[in-house]
Chain A
């Protein structure tokens, strides 16, 4: 049985009177790149924020490295966070610090390292994300793609075992998107990290994901390999993957399940798009 780095069970979250997550179940295995896809506002980022403990669940459990983040003491939650790197959508670089200071920040604040070691590590991490001669630049002087790279360099500064990416390619041109995708694939190859990527870019999801989960109606509706995703006959998945306006995914479908999905049988005669999709096609990682 594969080791699960993340094990989310029946996670529920209501924000501003809207049920964002509704009994969400998700397991992420050690060493895999799991991509969460879904419409804007479907709860992808909210799921990531539960994983790092920035949000607490209304109900259910979110276990990360065996610690339940919702009820963990601050010290335990921090010990888990030390093993996690998080790339925010806009990079979330501190605007008052230059690139070098941003990447060095977690090392200066949390590690007992000499200044020489810190600068050497910063250089290494910037090399890993293919950035050169930007150390003294301020975040406002960088392009969107470069800000994300610096954000990733900061996220991996302390050699995390799990890296979370929140919309890493949003707002980037196709070449920038491909470059970030390659970077994410390289992270797995070079650093052997487990990765969870949130995106609604299907091309990216297919390129980088070992497994892909579709978040719909507050839960993981479908899980499978990129190939499973392309082969499934499920109308919800089909609508999202092909970006069709007409279908069960409507503006209201995120609030209440009031659609009537005409499911067609999957390969094994079971509905491929069932909410309990973890039982569906398994990935070979």
Chain B
């Protein structure tokens, strides 16, 4: 049991290393991105439609829960107006990008791992190599670039709907008008909060797609191998999101 857990941890660390190497190799193909523009657009559409609805629902309820929890406590001191500062800041800086990252890892990253993994076990990736078509250029480049663009877009949607979720709770439960809430939000939210959140979203998008593609490419042994690749994609992506969230927060706010 302990041995198995240790082996899984080693495999995950190894997988994280492979993902970072794949991302570096993908970066070297960026000058050829225009040749993959159609695939990139198709991947963007697939990522956006795959994650939009869940991002909106999770974003809205995250904002509502934040407002409810902090509002109840702040109300004891007559400071419920502060939710107009707490909720937008928390959504834009942390909740929006991190929750969207988790959603994309679970929905899009795992799908990428399954797609690419199926190609790997059915020798389609070998066929690309034999034809002298680089799989990193052919498969990873459009996927990584697409998710790097779609992730901040979905994060923005989650941020906005989360802030409005907070406003809804403020209006209906805490007796804080929409006008007051929006005024406080506009007064206190800084540009730095927005761009740091979106920067995180871009980085998370790159990491998730890199992990999904690298795990897919390394999948071996039929359906079981594809399943393992999918599971490892989610695990590694979650860890990556949290680690890089801390690093980026430190880099921007320290």
Contacts and interface: CB of A to CB of B under 8 A. Distances in A.
Interface of A: 49, 52, 54, 78, 81-82, 84, 86, 88-90, 92-95, 105-106, 109-110, 154
Contact of A81 (B122, B132, B138): B132
Chain B interface size band reads: 10 to 19
A93 B124 CA distance: 6
B133 A105 contact: yes
A92 B126 CA distance: 8
Interface of B: 118-119, 122-124, 126-127, 129-133, 138
A110 B132 contact: yes
Contacts of B118: 95
Residue of B126, B129, B132, B138 ringed by the most chain A CB atoms within 10 A: B132
Contacts of A95: 118-119, 122, 124
Contact of B133 (A89, A92, A109): A109
B126 A105 contact: no
B127 A92 contact: yes
A52 B123 contact: no
28 contacts: A49-B126, A52-B129, A52-B130, A54-B126, A54-B130, A78-B132, A81-B130, A81-B131, A82-B132, A84-B130, A86-B127, A86-B130, A88-B123, A88-B127, A89-B123, A90-B123, A92-B122, A92-B123, A92-B124, A92-B126, A93-B127, A94-B124, A95-B124, A105-B131, A106-B133, A109-B133, A110-B131, A110-B132
Nearest to B118: A95
Contacts of A90: 122-123
Contacts of A110: 131-133
A82 B118 CA distance: 25
Contacts of B133: 105-106, 109-110
A172 to B, nearest CB: 18
Contacts of A86: 127, 130
Nearest to B123: A92
B129 A54 contact: yes
A90 B123 CA distance: 8
Contacts of A52: 129-130
